[in-house]
Structure 1
């Protein structure tokens, strides 16, 4: 019989994650239950052993044996236990952590994290032993005093990602949820395709909820309802957050002046961009650049 249960203490307490951009912990439902359907603000890689159903966006995936799971912060998911116990490991991390120190392509473009991908990999015994070893190294480094442990953990995470890219994903989907999940997935994928901005002469072609609704050929109210239902955030918040994220990257990693950045992000005047940036960050673009 299924056993949906509440969030683990380890997942709820993300203070360390916000400070460092990373947190790893062991999973054992005999000690802490699995999380209910939720959306978080970080990526996740989990190694899980047991029997369960993963409800991920508009799909449900049956997990049996040992599996590797990659979660995208834009897509809500939950785990429904079918066995009496589930064990393993999990890593939570921000995009800034995995992308540091260079401004590489967003994880949203990765086959493991992009909207519409299959995020679950069934492991053989040999693969399970190897992947378990990587997670154990990550946990050990997290508690170590080594000065460059963040760099080492970053390397281990990249190793997990590359090992998964060599595998074939699981395809045991057996049910669909609602249209809101599909609309939200399409919206988030379309939003992510606009980035990164590569040139000051480039201007975002879509800047408002109405723009995205027109491109998706649906009414803007339908889009707004779907996105709010699935993610808990308004469409405009997703757009603003992504523009702010790109603005920060451009301020840190380019020598473009503020007017050029404003133009590339679709602002007619630099003053509009300054006001927008300060409203969302509490800082002016120039002050943010100097502080970085």
Structure 2
């Protein structure tokens, strides 16, 4: 028997969001800050939703888990999490918010439309992280963000004038800049875990490239899936520890294998490209030259 498609609700505006979850109505049409201590009496809805909004949330003392994307996440310890428009969310019957604390900043993408931050926000990797990769804050960092949240809350509660958007977006950009700093601090202070991830990545890449015969080109998504992290998190971690992102590591590995094949086999340039997973040999030649300064043919000739 064919299963019927699951129904879910789309939350397109800040008002949609506050109404769905029973939060106070927003004082500003494009942004609101929610004090989670004041929501303890609410019953969390379990209806799956798709939010077309940006959300930054510091949730503490919540028992149970929420499902964001395809993963459950436990907020009992208190972490800062970031969600971009289009992310699926689903609660569960076992969530207990009777002791919840923290805050939630919700804003619509239209708030940023005419500002450089509207384009820049996509460069913040934490908005595309899987939820189990949330930011763990120190007490001092939490106080810094709390001060910024108070400033944002104060501003959007004022009467809207010609400068309101400018001020709110400026404050939001400062908040994101601090979050970016704290994320990179997290990579540096949690070196044991991150170095373990780096070691596992290198082991997987070495094993992948050691396979004989034609293989598909290695992708960032493939290794992120194998390591159970998101592509953005993996690239940020590698860039922090090694100076290169995941794609650069993959290219380096491919070029090293290509050099080995060019010098130790009689495969033609095209055959070498196919062996490495390139569908079009000219792409292989272009990448090889960009990384070594020589075409594959010139490299083979120079080693004779």
- Mark the structure with the bigger radius of gyration: 2
TM-score interval, normalised by the smaller of the two chains: 0.3 to 0.5
Q: Which has the higher helix share?
A: 2
With structure 1 as the length reference, what TM-score do the two structures score? 0.47
Greater relative contact order (Cα < 8 A, sep 6+): 1
